[in-house]
Amino acid sequence: MNTLHDIASAMVTRGQGLLAADESTGTIKKRFDSINVDCTAANRCNYREMLFRSQAMKDAVSGVILFEETLDQIGSDGTRLVDLITATGAIPGIKVDKGAKPLAGHPGETVTEGLDGLRERLATYHDKGARFAKWRSAISIDEGRPSWNAVKANAHGLARYAALCQEAGIVPIVEPEVVMDGPDARHDIDQCADVTRWVLNTVFNELFDARVDLEGMILKPNMVLPGQNSTKHASVEEVAEKTIACFKAEVPAAVPGIAFLSGGQSDIEATAHLNAMNAAHDLPWALTFSYGRALQAAALKAWSGRSENIIAAQNAFDHRARMNGLAACGKWSESLET
């Protein structure tokens, strides 16, 4: 499997999706704090090895997004974690951005950095086995936000990153996330839809200008949802309808797949929304998951840093991944959760 098109298609194999295990050291520390586990390199390695040795990797996971540290880590029997992943049939990928940094002159807004030296880093990551990459831009909604400058700067960064990836033989995951959180109670589903359309439109214009081959990339967006403090609830059907309408208007059919982030939804919400989109619509692209929290939360809790819990944690992960694999085919129902 060599060409960008083949890799991108394999990443969205029907019934499978991506495991986002690329939490930065700061983010995984927050996750470990919630289960009272020290955030050491050894614990991060043990936790991720537990996931990568699970049955779900063969059944429902097409690829894994790694943090740079994991690319060099070695499992308990001396096998590189990257080789563990490849042995399951899943594709290893790597988060390459250097994080969202404050955007000068725009209080409360960020721009994602990491382009300097990226060409050289990508060559190293490819040598170590990575075949796709991820770059996340965060766009927040609040009074007067997002600004055009934040939308434009983030879209431009995503496009330059994507072109560099393709030059290196690496499939770019393009992740413009309109974040759910924020204090504004007026941030409802329709406002999310408007901003998501604006952002996607800008991103695809930039990708066109940067001569990115759309068939050799994967889009990783937010779903269209009410903000966390919105007073207006949205049903599963409304989320599915508004998300699909937004993507049909803005995402060219040449893109092979859309792999959603979970963004703070509960495990069941993330599965139910994905299922509703796949069950009720005839779509030009594969629609699947690239979840972090919504795939790992139950497994993390079951593991709690103890080796005697590994089987229970793997069972929890297998279940969640299987549910999302079914949702990617529109074949999930809540009765399967028990």
The answer to whether 21 and 70 are in contact (CB under 8 A) is: yes
The answer to whether 172 and 133 are in contact (CB under 8 A) is: yes
Q: Which is nearer to ligand 13P, 132 or 291 (CB)?
A: 291
Q: Which is nearer to ligand 13P, 127 or 175 (CB)?
A: 175
At its nearest, how many Å lie between ligand 13P and the CB of residue 264?
A: 7
107 upstream amide cis, omega within 30 of 0 = no
Query: Given 95, 134, 220, 242, which residue is catalytic?
Result: 220
Q: Which is nearer to ligand 13P, 24 or 79 (CB)?
A: 24
Q: Which residues contact 258 (CB under 8 A, 6 or more apart)?
A: 218, 219, 220, 221, 247, 251, 285, 286, 287, 288
At its nearest, how many Å lie between ligand 13P and the CB of residue 318?
A: 18
The answer to whether 48 and 128 are in contact (CB under 8 A) is: no
Helix (H, G, I), strand (E, B) or coil at 81: helix
Distance CA 172, CA 163 (A): 8
The answer to whether residue 175 is catalytic is yes
Q: Which is nearer to ligand 13P, 136 or 156 (CB)?
A: 136
The answer to whether residue 301 is catalytic is no
Which residue has the CB atom at the shortest distance from ligand 13P? 292
- For 109, which DSSP code? -
At its nearest, how many Å lie between ligand 13P and the CB of residue 267?
A: 10
At its nearest, how many Å lie between ligand 13P and the CB of residue 39?
A: 17
At its nearest, how many Å lie between ligand 13P and the CB of residue 262?
A: 3
Q: Which is nearer to ligand 13P, 295 or 308 (CB)?
A: 295
Q: Which is nearer to ligand 13P, 42 or 162 (CB)?
A: 162
Query: Given 175, 177, 206, 250, which residue is catalytic?
Result: 175
Chain residues binding ligand 13P by CB under 6 A are 20, 136, 175, 261-263, 291-294
At its nearest, how many Å lie between ligand 13P and the CB of residue 136?
A: 4
Catalytic residues: 175, 220
